[in-house]
Structure 1
Amino acid sequence: MIKRHTEAMDVVVLGGGAAGVMAAVAAARNGADVLLVESQNCLGGSRTATGVDTFYGFFTPGDNPRKIVAGIPDEIVNRLRRENKLFDRPNTYGAGMGLTYDVEALKIAYEDLVLQSGCRLLFHTTACHVEAADGRVNSVWLANKAGLTEVKASYFIDTTGDADIVARAGGGFDAGSDDEPNQSLSTIFFMGNVDLEKAKKVSHREMTERMKEANKSGRFRLPREDGSYHRTPNPGVIQANMVRVSRIDATDPYSLTKAEIEGRKQVQEYAAFLKACIDGFENAFLIGTSQYIGVRETRKIDGHYKLTEEDVIAGRKFPDSIACCGAPVEDHHPGEGTRWVYVENGGYYHIPYRCLVPRSLQNVIVAGRCLSATHGAQASARNSAQAMAMGQAAGTAAALAAAAKQNFIDLDIGRLRRTLVEQHAIIE
């Protein structure tokens, strides 16, 4: 059955992850009529369905952390803290303070935030086709249990993570290459009945040594002799990030299916290893795996500016900044280790507005890990707090553009920045 939605909307947000939630709420609060579309059964994306239970990027790393993300994202953090569903957790790798939360509580918090803003929300719905001409997207076709529905809008925000809307509209993007492959994928898993006091006595270095020994003995197959686990707000429960599935094109459904299967197999190996070889896990059990495998990198748009790794390391500042980031380059490349490079010049850099605006599309803006950036820069800017900050900026820009009937690249950047500051975002 095909339905045609003839009502002209202001803004459609495609993708209800961390960036999409903030974009939808910001657009609605600034006066736009907004529809938020999500393919899963919950909001949050990697923050919930993928099992990543920690926000990174709110603070710069180091001994004197500086808070660099606020605004609407703070409302979520403050709510979870009031509910005793979030705690501060120092990061052993130097990525800065992490804010670890209860995943189920975050799902509810995101839903409440969206619905209270006046947004309309659709779960179990995918944008399968884009109608575009002369550099403008006119409508998207949504697929769900009701069939196909054409939805028209004046402005579109692509927060799919994979730049699906930009790609289907004919916009330019970088999808990675054999010489510089996209980052590896990870299946997150949770284990219960862990003796945390006993387990924390085993250092990370000792754990990796035991992984090496376990592999050498042939008892286990552990592709990555590294990874981490940490406590959660729930007693005796840990979240583990150890799986590594490399050289996958996560925009290819066959390749992604292969990754999901491999990821679950690896989880069984790592859970068995922890139970057999790490003190405190003797009576532990596998609670479950993430709803879907965690994807770090796919398409990155061809925007009006491409953020580079040199920009990141130099702590470069930009006049059209709409967000700040202090997260190091964290490149989960194929192979054993992870490449870490830290930000200089005050420990943070700016994310320019131009990185969110596709060069070839007039009424589309992106937020999140598909921003215009090189491989190395994206490995820093993809953090969750920055995704939310970009989302607030993109949603605010969409509402301002709708009111002024302007293309995104023609928007008064001074007005956008002033509006963000008035709404408590940190942009400098």
Structure 2
Amino acid sequence: MMRKKRTALLTAILLIVVIAAAAAGWIWYKERNNTVNRHEPQALLQVESITQPEDNYDVIVAGTDPEGIVAAISAARNDQRVLLVDGRNREILGGLMTLGWLNSLDLNYSPEQSKLSGKHNFLNKGIFQEWYDMIEGTSFDVNTAANAFYELVKAEPNIDLLMKTKFLEPIMETGNKGSGQIITGLRLETEGGVEYAVRAGAVIDATQDGDIAAAAGVPYSVGREDIGRPQDQQAVTLVFKMSGVTQQVWDSFANIGDGTGIDSMSAWGFIKSREYVSSNPERVGIRALNVGRQNDDTILINAMHIFGIDPLNPESVQEALEIGAKEAPLIVDYLKKTYKELKDVEFAGVAPELYVRETRHFEGEYRLTAVDVVDNRDFKDAIAYGSYRIDIQRLNAQDQGAIVAAPERYGVPFRAIVPLAVDNLLVVGRAASFDTIPHGSARVIPLGMATGEAAGAATKLAAELGLSFRELSRSESDISELRKRLMAQGMELAPVKFETPEYAKHKHYQGLLAAVSMALTFGGDHNETFNLDGIATAGQFANIMQTVKIAHADHFLGNPYVAIADLEEPAKLPLTLEQLAYTIALTTDLSVTPESALDEVVSKGWLAETTLSDIEDSQELKVGEVFSLVRDLMEFYAGKVYS
């Protein structure tokens, strides 16, 4: 009898638990799929700025974009006296997010996601997570974001905030015994026209383009210079606003189809928008829409691409603003005619600042490579992690942009924010030491905020130890201490588990790494388009060698297209080993015939015997085989190893 009662009781308890779990699951599901924006508009807080800086600080942070704000907060919480200074005549904090209106976040999600909590698990926690918990979600109201940044800064008594300075320039000294240049502070002019020379034990450059580092003499490349295309860089964008987006209008987006979807704050898709023909096609185009909701029935649209702009030239930036302001109302008219769901919305203005994706790439103690990102590489001195796709936006009107790869989790080493040539300086954000291809992922703001937090903490540790940042970066034990401190601040630097991507299991993976590094191939959103087992063509290989030639012009003086000049439909003709060797020979400017090229190239040792022996069919080379052969060529002919 007692056993039956006990069984009945356990059954009842189990039933209650199941019902409760089901109810919780239903509530979570409903909330996750809820599209209602329950947030109220916020008035912008009045930002209070000091009028006169002190003579000396422990740290000066240049730039009031999110990366600089986080750097200042981190340093202040590590008991450093901080001057956070803006050099762009701004009245609010947040820069690109709040004045460039980039209000939809490109996030670094952890490979380890909880299916029960309903909350995103980000790789970038710490101060970024603290700020994120103060806003609406993956898209946010720009006033909310600006106020959240200001509240975080204002809460730190160790921070002096100085806005609207007229210029910033580094104060430089030569180190003892000619050991190199040292930045010892900044010269600046306040809004009132008074100049100051402010000294500091450390300077963190968090300006979008690394303006302080450039003026201090840190070496850098511009745009895609590291792959032979200095004239190319990702398009700039002017975000624009549309009004009249009520809850009813917002919900109607879910019925569009066309790759369009919504949650409570973000919308995406609107694929037909790509068919828009601009008033100036060589200078302006649009992509599918990224839509971030505001709290006042307006939305912000990140879609416009403006080409041929030099973001380091103020006159060119002004031209971009004028081009964008002219084009934005025309785009809205097109969207209203194309989508019935948008017929009642109205154009409501453009952002005060331009969204610039790429300018300078500084040279640091380490430079993040495409191999690092695609290989999901970790580092002993990793101070931030990324997982966002390598997203290369359009370079010009003819280019369509590309998703190079979708990593799982890669580390950004501390050495990548320690610039060459100048001491007492750290460079955080998109201008840090990243090659142009990995920059397509590492440029996203949450990762930049993580580098800012690491930089702020590093100023305290370096001062305690009496080390330069360069010395700190070279000490494994001291870097270990920095990582411990960052984790104590709430950053997530512990290992995570994830499966090895399928592409990394391929026998021609090392060849793929070389190909990605030279922009010879793109994997797409899910790494599905590398096509390593597909059949290569003669025309395709000529294009590959032309791209290799551009990236390494000093080594390849010939013309690969001569090799296919007499072929009929080379774009459809399977690539043979003989044709590959002939194309290589002509690109290196060897004098050969199609028949002699293979023997000549092999005799020079440019192609590894192990790679050649692994070819399945010399009359129909596979794409992966081609990449491995190109990798050999780069190592044994050009002396460049991608690994």
TM-score for the superposition, normalised by structure 1:
0.88
> Aligned residue for 2:184?
138
Q: What is the percentage of aligned positions where both structures have the same residue? A: 27
Corresponding residue of 1:10? 58
Q: Which letter maps to 1:129?
A: E
Corresponding position: 1:294 with 2:355: yes
Kept in 2, the 8 Å contact 1:242–1:270? The answer is no
Corresponding letter in the other structure for 1:283 = D
Higher relative contact order (CA 8 A, sep 6+): 1
2:304 is matched with which residue: 243, 261, 266? Answer: 243
* CA deviation vs aligned residue, 1:132-151 (integer Å, no higher than 9, x gap): 12211122121332222221
**Which of 475, 479, 483 is equivalent to 1:417?**
483
Superposition map of 1:259-408 within 5 A = 259-334=320-395, 335=397, 336-344=399-407, 347-408=408-469
* C-alpha separation in 2, matches of 1:231 and 1:158: 29
- Correspondent of 2:122 among 57, 61, 67: 67
Q: Give the counterpart letter for 1:51 in structure 2.
A: W
Comparing 387-396 with 264-273, which one deviates more in the overlay?
264-273
AA matched with 1:175? V
Task: Give the conservation status (yes or no) of the 8 Å contact 1:141–1:150.
Answer: yes
**Secondary structure in structure 2 of the residue aligned to 1:125:** coil
* Displacement after TM superposition at 1:42 (Å): 1.2
Name the CA shift for 1:122/1:203 in 2 (closer, same or farther; >3 Å). farther
Report the RMSD for the aligned CA atoms in angstroms: 2.5
Aligned partners of 1:263 and 1:293 also within 8 Å: no
The residue type paired with residue 67 of structure 1 is F
Partner of 2:552: none
Q: What does residue 91 of structure 1 align with?
A: none
Task: Tell me which residue corresponds to 2:97.
Answer: 47
Aligned mates of 2:389, 2:483 — CA distance in 1: 25
More moved, 392-401 vs 196-205: 196-205
Q: Which whole-Å CA distance do the structure 2 matches of 1:296 and 1:203 have between them?
A: 30
Please give the residue correspondences for 1:68-87 in structure 2 after superposition, counting only pairs within 5 Å. Answer: 68-80=123-135, 86-87=136-137
Aligned amino acid, residue 212 of structure 2: I
Distance (whole Å) between structure 2 residues aligned to residue 304 and residue 319 of structure 1: 14
Instruction: Report which stretch shifted further, 295-304 or 61-70.
Output: 61-70
Q: Secondary structure at the match of 2:358?
A: coil
- Structure 2 counterpart SS, 1:337: coil
- Look up the equivalent residue of 2:214 and give its one-letter code: A
Give runs of ≥4 in structure 1 deviating > 3 Å.
3-6, 60-66, 203-211, 218-223
* Distance across 2 between alignment mates of 1:252 and 1:136: 27
Check whether the contact 2:292–2:301 (CA below 8 A) recurs between aligned residues. Answer: no
Instruction: Write the distance in 2 (CA, Å) between the matches of 1:331 and 1:219.
Output: 22
Structure whose residues are more often helix by fraction: 2
Say which is worse superposed, 274-283 or 99-108, in terms of deviation: 274-283
Cα gap change, 1:5 to 1:37, in 2 (>3 Å): closer
CA contact (8 A) 1:50 1:294 kept: yes
CA distance in 2, matches of 1:280, 1:5: 52
| Map 1:154-303 → 2, pairs under 5 A | 154-176=201-223, 177=225, 179-180=229-230, 181-194=232-245, 195-204=249-258, 207-209=270-272, 211-212=274-275, 214-215=276-277, 223-234=284-295, 236-303=297-364
Measure, in 1, the Cα distance between the counterparts of 2:384 and 2:165: 29
Q: Distance in 2 between matches of 1:79 and 1:277?
A: 36
The answer on whether the counterparts of 1:315 and 1:343 sit within 8 Å (CA) in structure 2 is no
Partner of 1:24: 72
Which of 84, 87, 107 is 1:57 aligned to? 107
Q: Distance in 1 between matches of 2:382 and 2:63?
A: 23
Q: 1:93: which partner in 2?
A: none
Instruction: Confirm or deny: 8 A CA contact 1:199 1:278 kept in the other structure.
Output: no
CA contact (8 A) 1:355 1:373 kept: yes
Higher mean displacement: 30-39 or 245-254: 245-254
Letter in 2 for 1:343: A
Letter of the structure 2 residue corresponding to residue 350 of structure 1: G
Amino acid in the other structure paired with 2:82? V
Contact 1:44 1:110 in 2 (8 A): yes
* Deviation for aligned residue 1:231: 4.8
> Quick check: 2:284–2:307 contact (8 Å CA) kept in 1?
no
The residue aligned with 1:90 is none
3-state SS of paired residue (2:353): coil
Change (3 A) 1:222 1:282: farther
Partner SS, residue 304 of structure 2: coil
Q: Which stretch of the first structure deviates more once superposed, 410-419 or 365-374? A: 410-419
Question: Which string of whole-angstrom CA distances, capped at 9 and with x for unpartnered residues, describes residues 25-49 of structure 1?
Answer: 0000001000101121111111111
Aligned partner of 2:636 in structure 1 is none
Q: What is aligned with 1:37? A: 85
Q: Residue in 2 aligned with 1:95?
A: none
- For the 8 Å contact 1:221–1:269, the answer to whether it is kept is no
Whichever of the two has the greater Rg, that structure is 2
- Asked if 2 retains the 8 angstrom alpha-carbon contact of 1:208 and 1:225, the reply is no
Structure 2 match to 1:108? 147
Of the candidates 78, 102, 117, which is equivalent to residue 156 of structure 2? Answer: 117
Deviation at 1:251, TM superposition (A): 1.1
- Structure 1 residue 127, shift from structure 2 partner: 4.1
Change (3 A) 1:57 1:198: closer
Stretches of structure 2 lacking an aligned partner (at least 5 in a row) = 1-50, 115-119, 175-180, 260-268, 473-477, 495-643
Cα offset, 1:220, TM superposition: 9.8
Q: Name the SS for the 2:92 alignment partner.
A: coil
Once residues 125 and 427 of structure 1 are traced to their aligned partners in structure 2, the CA distance between those partners, rounded to angstroms, is 36
Q: Which amino acid aligns with 1:215?
A: V
Supply the distance in 2 between the matched residues of 1:104 and 1:210 (Cα, whole angstroms). Answer: 28
Q: 1:60 to 1:248 in 2, by over 3 A?
A: farther
CA distance in 1, matches of 2:113, 2:184: 49
